Structure 1
Amino acid sequence: MTATETATRLIRDTAELFAAEPALSSLFGYDPSSVSDIPRLFASVLSACLPEGTARQSVRKLAEKVFRDDTQAVDAALTDLAATAARDIDPGGMAGALHFAHGYHVLMAYRLTNALWRRGRHSLSLAVKGQFTRTLGADIMPQARIGRGVWLDHGLGVVIGQTAVIEDDVSLWHGVTLGSTLADRGERRHPWLCRGATIGAGAVILGGIEIGAGAVVAAGAVVTHPVPAGELVAGPRAELRERRPGGFQGFVPTDRIGRE
């Protein structure tokens, strides 16, 4: 199915979804009969994640303009949607996933803020990210690089740092952290998840390490070392270790800020 065919079907299926349950129009704050293209549809759904008010209307207008101008973001979002509909056991197909899959809304918010960041609108990108972080309960830095066909199941509690890289077809459950060790410096402080990796709920992956293609990180695992392609890692290991010079020694106390 071509991108044009996918868009046409999604708009049609959305109209049928709302016709079957008229109350959806008031819940999402838009009438699908007024939507004729994907940028407006995506903007309408994404902005509905925010409380009613000025911010929602501003984000709707901004998102429509960004999605209309940035085909990279739209193409990635459509591929994410197809992956979400395919991997999610809930019914409704792509139209259902678009409106009801919380994890997909988290990804849509990232697609918007990342597009803004790539266009040099850094302050606006971070401000919009803050709005969605408060309402969606997930925090993805707009500088992170996320491929296509990514699935966030539930999406709640997901934290993805600035230099993280997620390749195509990766799946992440709720509560996943892709963070730094605080000792890492430079351009690669956060994990790199290779194509097709699966990260279980509550997993914590720290540092500029690579999780190989098709690898599985089990729920609750704490990972600080690379994982080879196709392998499975499981279990938390918190061991007492010597604090070495050059490692993280704590943040500067407030009474010394600006003096060093």
Structure 2
Amino acid sequence: MAEAAMAGSDSLWQKVRDEAQRSANADPVFGKAVAGAILAHDDFAAALADLIGRRLASNATERVRFMAFCRAAFGGEPDLIEAAGRDLLAIARRDPAVADLLPPLLHYKGYIALQAWRVSNWLWRHDHRDAALLFQNEASNLLQVSIHPTASIGSAVYLDHATGIVIGANVVVGDDVTILQNVSIGRSSELPARSPRIGCGVYIGAGASILGDISIGDLAKVGAGTVVTSDVPAGCTAVGNPARLTNCPESASAA
């Protein structure tokens, strides 16, 4: 598993470096920034640790500290880098505004916030809970994305626009999920206080709220501004407040 992760990240890293070199050659002014952020590093993990440190830290000392936590996480669990690569590729596939890997890596705060969460989750699982919460707090303050370290998130996940996103404790998010701005996913006020489970391939529109002990099935869609407090079967679309189901496949309608 670790060897496959390394091979995948190496291939992606070479693509990123090639793009960075072309950008540096085309624009000498921007090239200086690209050289420091990308070309100065030996691998994807080192560049990503540096980018997270740059975005979360307010001074050089804090930057070094954040980078050290990132390097520990990436070195201790190479699958984190594989997941980060899949997240980056997902943006290039789903965002019609970009075709390359370098722009979202350098400029999309949702991407950096998600990778900061991956580090915070690793820290939480390894009993560095104060450090994990520090990552969450700084990502919330500076990137407007708050993901609790105890959440569980798959790969190829895209946080589009990524302002005002809140993913609470113990929320489960599957692979290939797209989440737009101002989305809240977390517990409801009802007891027992349990968190939502989001399946694979789900699309969640801007301003949606998904609350409580519920499941959103694979390939379901949640419309903008929808408030979901009960299950959404696989393949269905939920719209409105309170949510109502539409466009369900026949199997879901029968159930």
Aligned pair count? 236
| TM-score, normalising length: structure 1 | 0.83
Residues 32 and 138 (structure 1), Cα distance of their counterparts in 2 relative to 1, 3 Å cut: closer
CA distance in 2, matches of 1:30, 1:115: 27
Contact 1:218-1:235 within 8 A present in 2 as well = yes
Shift of 1:134: 0.8
Residues 16 and 64 (structure 1), Cα distance of their counterparts in 2 relative to 1, 3 Å cut: farther
Larger radius of gyration: 1
Contact 2:180-2:204 within 8 A present in 1 as well = yes
CA distance in 2, matches of 1:191, 1:7: 34
Give secondary structure in 2 for the equivalent of 1:169.
coil
Aligned match of 2:180: 173
1:11 aligns with 2:4: no
1:224 aligns with 2:229: yes
CA distance in 2, matches of 1:49, 1:27: 14
List aligned pairs for 1:9-158, cutoff 5 A: 9-24=15-30, 30-50=36-56, 51-91=58-98, 93-158=100-165
Gaps (5+ residues) in structure 2? Answer: 244-255
CA distance in 2, matches of 1:124, 1:20: 40
Residues 128 and 31 (structure 1), Cα distance of their counterparts in 2 relative to 1, 3 Å cut: closer
Moved more, 125-134 or 203-212: 125-134
CA distance in 1, matches of 2:192, 2:80: 29
Q: Which amino acid is 2:44 matched to?
A: I
Q: Which amino acid is 2:218 matched to?
A: A
| Aligned CA-pair RMSD | 2.2
CA distance in 1, matches of 2:190, 2:31: 49
Task: Say which of 205, 208, 229 aligns to 2:213.
Answer: 208
Contact 1:17-1:95 within 8 A present in 2 as well = no
Shift of 1:23: 4.1
Q: Which amino acid is 2:98 matched to?
A: P
CA distance in 2, matches of 1:29, 1:137: 27
CA distance in 2, matches of 1:17, 1:44: 19
CA distance in 2, matches of 1:11, 1:69: 24
Contact 1:171-1:198 within 8 A present in 2 as well = yes
Residues 149 and 228 (structure 1), Cα distance of their counterparts in 2 relative to 1, 3 Å cut: same
CA distance in 1, matches of 2:201, 2:154: 11
Gaps (5+ residues) in structure 1? Answer: 239-260
CA distance in 2, matches of 1:204, 1:43: 31
Higher helix share: 2
Aligned match of 2:248: none
CA distance in 2, matches of 1:28, 1:113: 26
Aligned-pair identity (%): 31
| TM-score, normalising length: structure 2 | 0.85
CA distance in 1, matches of 2:60, 2:20: 24
CA distance in 2, matches of 1:31, 1:105: 13
Aligned match of 2:252: none
CA distance in 2, matches of 1:48, 1:12: 22
Deviation readout 1:123-156 (Å, 9 max, x if unpaired):
1111122122110011000110000111110111
